[in-house]
Structure 1
Amino acid sequence: MKRKAQKIKMLEKNMTDKTDQDQDFWTIGRKPVQEILFAKPEQVDLVYIQNDVRSRALERIVDICKSQKVRFRMVSAGELQRIHSGNHQGALARIFQPGFTNMGAVLEQVTKAPLPLVLALDQVQDPGNLGTLARTMVALGGAGMILPKNRTAFPGTVAAKAGAGALNKLPIAHVTNLARSLDYCREQGFTVYGCAVDAEGENMFRMIPAYPSILVLGNEDKGIRPNVLKRCDHKIFIPMPGIMQSLNVAQAGAIALGMFAKTRDEMA
């Protein structure tokens, strides 16, 4: 349990922007945080609130987070200062990048994109993988990405660096429940493909995909969650005849996306 807690703590540390260079990702101060929670709650990823200060303003922020269904975390003064050294007054809101939108807007992009495919990431937690996959999607003409709000890498500076600007060019939607979102996608005529970590299902090099498509990639360690995998119309895998029998999610995603792009080009 102790090792697991340490691993989770390190993940949270890596997912948190720690320097003042990341000003675009933060709203700081009690009043500014309240204002963005009221005006644009969908743009707020997570609110940090100092837990050792008695303040009606901070209590109000907690109430707003609950009513707007925005995640918040109570932290010590030292932890808050480590996250951001500005004059935060006990309140910080971590903000999504400008390219984020709702799922409907992402799905609409399939009518315009060269590759009518949306990439859904199921709790991918490494921001470098997130950025690399976004870059691959932009390069191949993909329509957009869907990310769950919880337990997902934050698209901050690490992801932005790996993406080389792709995060600003690709429509990305955050959803509360990925499984239900995939149900909705299927109702809208999308075929959902889940990229499995084992050799079960269909060999992706031999299949002919249907479009528009959703490609689901799973967590770096656990793969796609069972409840999400149930929503996939097809379970596909990458054949690996070589001595290496594993790929990280960014590598697997690049291969799968390349396969979809190739078959789409052949069908055109």
Structure 2
Amino acid sequence: MNFIFGLHSVEALLKNNPEQIEIVYIDNHRQDKRVIQLVELLDQASIKYEYISKNILDKKAPGVNHQGIVAMVANKSSFLPQLSFKDFLKEKSVNESSIVIVLDGITDPHNLGAIIRTCDCFGVDAVIVPKDNSASVNATVAKTSAGAVNYVPVIVVNNLARTLEELKEHDYWIAGTTLAENSVELFDFTPDKKIVWVMGSEDKGIRRLVAENCDYLVSIPMEGNTQSLNVSVAAGVVLSYTKYIKNKN
């Protein structure tokens, strides 16, 4: 058995995949409105719940901010929208305003969760990550995403370079975020209707083979001394700009 935690994550799972929840444990000192509403939903779905002490909750979800809510689920991937890359190309790529995020080397689950949350806010069709050298979607990611993992498909692929080639074959244009000399500044860039944003880790950026498969290289103009943004913040910047341009046009 595995656990997910936090009000947002558990509520989202309850609304989308209630059959996956075995039982919900609730801090016996929480009697606020949010918990009362959660209990009402659990009753409606005939899902078991139990009030227990915070100490026991801490043992079930060690080292995390569980907010007094921990759900036991059947398996660790049960709260994910199930979608293969092949099915994505068949079902989602027909969207002429489709936006996809490809993550290259994002190994911090907190960053992955934050990016998924941002993607949900801006209507991204899918997040694509490599099988290796990437954080996997776990309870920490679910919590950090505030439940957005229940709405945004996270697709795991074996080869990012080949994946980008297939996306191009389905009329996507690929934009990689990097500070390369030949990068165009974001605010001078007009995203295509079907756009894939490729984002790499803060220390290494996107890999050479991945960058070579990009149609554009784009940098976020910055002032100050660090010249570096957290990747989840960078994702928010490019996605916000992308939606602005799409809506404007």
TM-score band by shorter chain is 0.5 to 0.7
- C-alpha separation in 2, matches of 1:215 and 1:111: 18
Superposition TM-score, scaled by structure 2 size: 0.66
Pair 1:140-2:122 in alignment: yes
> Which segments of structure 1 move beyond 3 Å, counting only runs of 4 or more?
19-23, 93-98, 110-113, 197-200
Question: Unpaired segments of 5 or more residues in structure 1?
Answer: 1-18, 24-92
**2:162 is matched with which residue?**
180
Identity %: 31
Pair 1:158-2:158 in alignment: no
Question: Unpaired segments of 5 or more residues in structure 2?
Answer: 6-74
**2:229 is matched with which residue?**
247
Measure how far apart 1:241 and its partner are.
2.3
Cα deviation 1:62-104 (Å, max 9, x = unaligned): xxxxxxxxxxxxxxxxxxxxxxxxxxxxxxx965743132113
- C-alpha separation in 1, matches of 2:79 and 2:106: 18
**1:196 is matched with which residue?**
178
Structure number with higher relative contact order (C-alpha < 8 Å, ≥ 6 residues apart): 2
**1:126 is matched with which residue?**
108
Pair 96,161 (structure 1): closer, same or farther in 2 beyond 3 Å:
same
- Please, which moves more after superposition, 250-259 or 237-246? 237-246
Contact 1:116 1:142 (C-alpha < 8 Å) held by counterparts: yes
- C-alpha separation in 2, matches of 1:22 and 1:136: 20
Aligned length: 179
- C-alpha separation in 2, matches of 1:200 and 1:248: 22
Measure how far apart 1:188 and its partner are.
1.3
- C-alpha separation in 2, matches of 1:96 and 1:198: 40
User: Per the alignment, in what secondary structure is the counterpart of residue 101 of structure 1?
Assistant: coil
Cα deviation 1:127-172 (Å, max 9, x = unaligned): 1111111111111111111111111101111111110111110122
User: Per the alignment, in what secondary structure is the counterpart of residue 102 of structure 2?
Assistant: strand
User: Higher helix share goes to which structure?
Assistant: 1
Cα deviation 1:164-195 (Å, max 9, x = unaligned): 11111012211000111101111111100000
Superposition TM-score, scaled by structure 1 size: 0.62
